[in-house]
A = this chain, B = another copy of it.
Amino acid sequence: MCIHIHDAQDHPPICIYITHNPESSKFSTKLKLNSRENQGAMATEVANKKVVLKRYIERGETPTESIMELVTAEAITLKVPEASPPAVLVKNLYLSCDPYGRFIMSRPEEGIKITSAPPNSPVRGYGVAKVVDSTHPDFKAGDYLWGITFWEEYSLITPTEFNFKINHTDVPLSYYAGLLGMPGLTAYVGFHEISSPKKGELVFVSAASGAVGQLVGQFAKLMGCYVVGSAGSDEKVNLLKNKLGFDNAFNYKKESDLGAALKRYFPEGIDIYFDNVGGAMLDAVLCNMRLGGRVTVCGMISQYNLKALEGVHNLLSIIGNCVRVQGFTVGQYLHLYRDFEEKVVNYVKEGKITYLEDVAEGLEAAPAAFVGLFEGKNIGKKLVVVAREQ
User: Are A318 and B291 in contact (CB-based, < 8 A)?
Assistant: no
Assuming A322-B329, A326-B324, is B317 touching A111 (CB within 8 A)? yes
Assembled-state Cα–Cα distance A292/B323 (Å): 18
Which of these, B297, B312, B319, contacts A328 with CB under 8 Å? B319
Copies of this chain? 2
Interface on chain A toward B: helix, strand, loop, or mixed SS?
Answer: loop
Decide if A335 is an interface residue (CB 8 Å cutoff): no
Q: A314 in the interface, Cβ–Cβ < 8 Å?
A: yes
Stretch at the interface among A1-9, A171-179, A302-310, A360-368: A302-310
A322 touching B328 in the complex, CB below 8 Å, given contacts A291-B113, A317-B111: yes
Q: In the assembly, what is the distance between CA of A317 and CA of B329, in Å?
A: 11
Name which of A298, A300, A308, A325 has the most chain B CB atoms within 10 A of its CB: A325
B313 and A311 contacting across the interface, CB-CB below 8 Å: yes
Give chain B residues whose Cβ lies under 8 Å from the Cβ of A303.
316
Confirm or deny: A332 has a beta carbon within 8 angstroms of a beta carbon on chain B: yes
Partner of A282 from B113, B297, B315 at Cβ < 8 Å:
B315
Q: Which residues of B contact A114 (CB under 8 A)?
A: 320
Q: Is A104 part of the contact surface with B, judged by Cβ < 8 Å?
A: no
Which among A113, A314, A323, A327 has the greatest number of chain B C-beta atoms within 10 A?
A: A327
- Say yes or no: B291 contacts A321, CB within 8 Å: no
Of the four ranges (under 10, 10 to 19, 20 to 34, 35 or more), the interface on chain A belongs to 35 or more
Q: How far does the alpha carbon of A314 sit from the alpha carbon of B314 in the complex, in Å?
A: 14
A278 lies within 8 A of chain B by Cβ = yes
Does A299 count as interface, using CB distance less than 8 angstroms? yes
A residues near B (Cβ < 8 Å) are 110-114, 278, 282, 287, 291-292, 297-300, 303, 308-329, 332
Closest 5 CB pairs of A and B: A311-B311, A318-B327, A113-B320, A319-B327, A325-B325
User: Besides the contacts A310-B311, A319-B327, A324-B325, what 8 more A-B pairs have beta carbons closer than 8 Å?
Assistant: A112-B317, A113-B320, A300-B316, A300-B319, A303-B316, A315-B327, A322-B332, A323-B326
